[in-house]
Structure 1
Amino acid sequence: MADELVHYAVEAGIARITLDSPENRNALSAQLRRELRAHLSTATEDDAVRVIVLDHTGPVFCAGMDLKEAGGASAAAQGVQEFPAILQQIWTSPKPVVAKLAGPARAGGVGIVAAADIAVAATTATFALTEVRIGVVPAIISVTLLPRLLPRAAHELFLTGEQFDAARAVQIGLLNSAVPSTDLDDEVARYTSMLALGGPKALAGTKAMLRRERPADMTADFAEMLALSAGFFASEEGQEGITAFAQKRKPTWVP
């Protein structure tokens, strides 16, 4: 039986999903994809999980699709077929997802970073969208990347495949924060602790709101948002939060 390539652990409401295939730079092999999808489903379905952290072992976060996997082009094509489901699981997860990068991300790995709600990297991490340099198009990852990146930067980096550093990744919208590697764990903890303060249903509702396509008409947009707001104000979670604020105590969902 093959060793597990993706590990899953939960502590204090934080589900940590760790890519552990350092010998091939955490490339998206068939086994890694399968285990990653399973663990994402487990975290999403567990009411005790409040936040999901995507972590990794080894010097590289994720090198993208495993192009050396047995089967060559056919295996790579199968991987491309399966990859959208992974990105969609992360993007649509009702739980906030934090990507933690102690090292580089390439191609599909950058797509995973973009799919996460919060992305934090060590200042030494680098990035590149290298698809055009091997004669393919970064089509799948464009679905998560283009909503994040500044348009000029997207054109430049998609077309050139040039490597860029963590500081620029913050500037163009790919990362939320870049910190020295010694501060990476603390920075991730800072975000997860803040996310855990939000009501679980409110966080899921906010993520859905952020994903929605805005109506062209402002009146229609306000009407939809008024209904959404009123529903949450009247909900059990909303009433608990308001009561807790008035009573100067923590709401029940805060550990």
Structure 2
Amino acid sequence: MAEELVHYAVAGGTATITLDSPHNRNALSAQLRAELSAGLTRARDDDAVRVIVLDHTGPVFCAGMDLKEARGAGAGDQGVNEFPRILEQLWTSPKPVVAKLAGPARAGGIGMVAAADIAVAVKDATFAFSEVRIGVVPAVISLTVLPRLNARAAHELFLTGDKFDAARAVSIGLLNAAVDPADLDSTVDGYVRALALGGPRALAATKELLSRPRPATPADGFAEMTALSTGFFASEEGQEGITAFAQKRPPSWVPTT
């Protein structure tokens, strides 16, 4: 039986999904993709899970697709047809996803970072859209990366394949924070605690809201947004949150540990 490449653990309402394939720099092999997708499904379906943290072992977060498996493969056999499901799971997860990087990411690994809601890396982590340098196109990951990056940076970095550091990744919108290695755990924990304060249904709806196309003018969206807002004010979750605020107590969904 093959050794597990993705570990899954839940504690205090947080599901931690850990890539553990350091021998190939956590590359997206067929086994790792299958286990990662299964872990994301498990977290989505577990009502006890409030937040998902995507973590890794070894010095590299993810090197992208496993090129050893892709070598000599025909169209549809390199994992390109499977990887979009993982990006979609991350992007549309009703539970907020935090990517935690103690090292570099490349290509598809950056696609996962971009698909997460919040991403934190150590300051010496590096990034590169290296696809063009091996004669392929960053097509699939563009769907999660381009909404995060400013346009000038996207053109430069997609076309050159040049390496860039975590400070640049923050400045162009790929990361939320670049921190010293000693501060990585506490920074991620701070985001997790903040996310866990939100109502589960409200967080899911807000994630969906953030991904919607914007109306041409505010007036075009007011009717729909008013209905959404009033529905949540009247909902059981909304009423619990309002009551808890008035009573100066945590709402029922806030973890007690």
TM range (shorter): over 0.9
Whether 2:176 is the aligned partner of 1:212: answer no
Whether 2:13 is the aligned partner of 1:13: answer yes
CA contact (8 A) 2:69 2:78 kept: no
Task: Report SS of the residue matched to 2:67.
Answer: coil
Offset of residue 101 of structure 1: 0.2
2:227 is matched with: 227
Q: Which moved more, 1:68-77 or 1:211-220?
A: 68-77
CA contact (8 A) 2:146 2:154 kept: yes
Whether 2:120 is the aligned partner of 1:126: answer no
Counterpart residue type for residue 61 of structure 1: F
> 1:64-213 alignment to 2 at 5 Å?
64-69=64-69, 72-74=72-74, 77-213=77-213
Aligned length, in residue pairs: 255
What is the TM-score with the length of structure 1 in the denominator? 0.98
Task: Report SS of the residue matched to 2:49.
Answer: coil
Counterpart residue type for residue 15 of structure 1: A
Offset of residue 72 of structure 1: 3.2
Identity within the alignment, % = 76
Task: Report SS of the residue matched to 2:233.
Answer: helix
Structure 1 pair 107/197, CA: closer, same or farther in 2 (3 Å)? same
- Structure 1 gaps of 5+ residues are none
> What is the RMSD of the two structures over their aligned residues, measured on CA atoms?
1.2
What is the rounded CA distance, in whole Å, between the counterparts of 1:71 and 1:123 in structure 2? 33
- Structure 2 gaps of 5+ residues are none
Structure 1 pair 70/164, CA: closer, same or farther in 2 (3 Å)? closer
What is the rounded CA distance, in whole Å, between the counterparts of 1:217 and 1:70 in structure 2? 45
Q: Which moved more, 1:77-86 or 1:198-207?
A: 77-86
Task: Report SS of the residue matched to 2:54.
Answer: strand
Task: Report SS of the residue matched to 1:251.
Answer: coil
What is the rounded CA distance, in whole Å, between the counterparts of 1:27 and 1:2 in structure 2? 16
CA contact (8 A) 1:65 1:76 kept: no
CA contact (8 A) 2:5 2:35 kept: yes
What is the TM-score with the length of structure 2 in the denominator? 0.97
What is the rounded CA distance, in whole Å, between the counterparts of 1:70 and 1:241 in structure 2? 50
Offset of residue 152 of structure 1: 0.3
Offset of residue 76 of structure 1: 7.5
What is the rounded CA distance, in whole Å, between the counterparts of 1:218 and 1:175 in structure 2? 28
